[in-house]
Structure 1
Amino acid sequence: MNSTASVFLPPNYFLLGGSGCYGNNTPPSAPTILVGDSGVGKTSLLVQFDQGKFIPGSFSATVGIGFTNKVLTVDELKVRLQIWDTAGQERFRSVTHAYYRDAQALLLLYDITSKSSFDNTRAWLTEIHEYAQDDVVIMLLGNKSDMTSARAIRREEGEKLAREYGVIFLETSAKTGLNVDEAFMTIFLHPQIPDFQILSYPNKPYINGSLFIQLSYDACISILKN
């Protein structure tokens, strides 16, 4: 896990341990949907997270919905993530809308080299608020952060938009793997995802990604000892 990851968290965020703290042998799950314009790297991000590799130029635009079910082990805590990769094209939006209602988390991607994909995030957020559950967890991801020479959207612009909508923000690179694991784990450890023990944490808008995961796990261990 990248030790220099910087995660923007809305005020009053909490750290928490998973249901493994209760001795439940069933890994907790969080149905998660990837959304955003076509070409922002949703499928590449999912492949990097699932397989730990980047396959350049091998993906055509997603048609409809793709699905990945992944079980992770964070130290001794098992995590089951159900992830839907959606098509970004307008003609598939009605299909995507049907999946919004069952999602506990949404990762909204834009391409940091594409101003139009960033501008369109407002329309995506409006759509999410219309079709998804009121308590759905939303994370804004500025993808392709490795393409620094072609950057069109500054990190500060992404952070500002995240603050405006009260969502989590992180820049990622599906190519290098930068912050990809952190993005999914930050979603998984969010207090609005069911079956978790919430542990209060001081109001800090920025924390180190690795520290975030480690503190969460340590908190879980302390519950087991008590």
Structure 2
Amino acid sequence: MDILWQYQFRIILLGDSTVGKSSLLKRFTDGVYSDVADPTVGVDFYARALDVEPGVKIKLQLWDTAGQERFRSITTSYYRNSVGGLLVFDLTNRKSFEHVRDWHREVTEHILPHHMVYILVGHKSDLTRERRVHRGEAEHLAAELGVRYVETSAKCNSNVEHAFELLARDIYELMKMGEISARDGWDGVKSGLTAKVLYPAEEEEEREKSCNC
């Protein structure tokens, strides 16, 4: 039986092949890691629930996209129906970092006039000797794109949970501000059976003060 959730966010993982998108998802959803990973063919699906604040459970519907060019026509159809994206590159692979802007541009063009909430993820942080991208460079790119930056390792289970939580909380905060909302014909955000009524921060504070319960 599904755990009751207030909202469902559809999240898509973007990046070149072999950067470790599937490893991140398996670690986050199943708590497992394998050194052997078959390339994703088309799109794979994962799911997990998170508590973004007391009493608010978010179900993350996670889509793992193939990084190979030949699958691009399949994966682009998933862009428009996603509210959030993890832009993933391999810290030991300079080209995967250089391709981040291409991924960001491609997705942004496909979802216009709508927007997606991104987070930049430098993966395989455990491979310190093979590192080819400095933290400062990645942080500079994140600033250019206007997104957060996190370094992760699925192998060591470092910051994996943190990366997904940050993205979910950013989306939720934008919902509270009224900048993102569920809408007909779009699967990016869906309301559950127990959807929480969201109020602007000032109004929420006043409601809490006046509550006698």
Instruction: Provide TM-score, normalisation by structure 2.
Output: 0.77
After TM superposition, the structure 1 = structure 2 runs for residues 58-73 of structure 1, keeping only pairs within 5 Å, are 59-73=37-51
1:190 alignment counterpart = 170
> Which ranges in structure 1 are unaligned for 5 or more consecutive residues?
1-24, 199-218
1:81 alignment counterpart = 60
CA offsets per residue over residues 97-146 of structure 1, 9 Å max, x none?
10000010010100000001111112111111111353210111000011
Aligned alpha-carbon RMSD (Å) = 2.2
CA offsets per residue over residues 150-207 of structure 1, 9 Å max, x none?
100001110001111112211111111111111111111114777x434xxxxxxxxx
3-state SS of paired residue (2:17): coil
Q: In structure 2, what is the Cα distance between the partners aligned to 1:197 and 1:124?
A: 28
Identity across matched positions, percent: 41
Q: Which has the larger radius of gyration?
A: 2
Q: Match for 1:148 among 128, 137, 140?
A: 128
Q: In structure 2, what is the Cα distance between the partners aligned to 1:183 and 1:72?
A: 12
Q: In structure 1, what is the Cα distance between the partners aligned to 2:85 and 2:176?
A: 21
The structure with higher relative contact order (CA 8 Å, sep 6+) is: 1
Cα displacement (A) at 1:26: 3.6
Q: In structure 2, what is the Cα distance between the partners aligned to 1:120 and 1:39?
A: 13
Q: In structure 2, what is the Cα distance between the partners aligned to 1:79 and 1:26?
A: 6
2:20 alignment counterpart = 41
CA contact (8 A) 1:113 1:153 kept: yes
1:109 alignment counterpart = 88
Moved more, 36-45 or 134-143: 134-143
In 2 relative to 1, CA 50–192 (structure 1 residues): closer, same or farther, beyond 3 Å? closer
In 2 relative to 1, CA 67–191 (structure 1 residues): closer, same or farther, beyond 3 Å? closer
After TM superposition, the structure 1 = structure 2 runs for residues 100-139 of structure 1, keeping only pairs within 5 Å, are 100-133=79-112, 134-139=114-119
2:161 alignment counterpart = 181
Q: In structure 2, what is the Cα distance between the partners aligned to 1:91 and 1:193?
A: 36
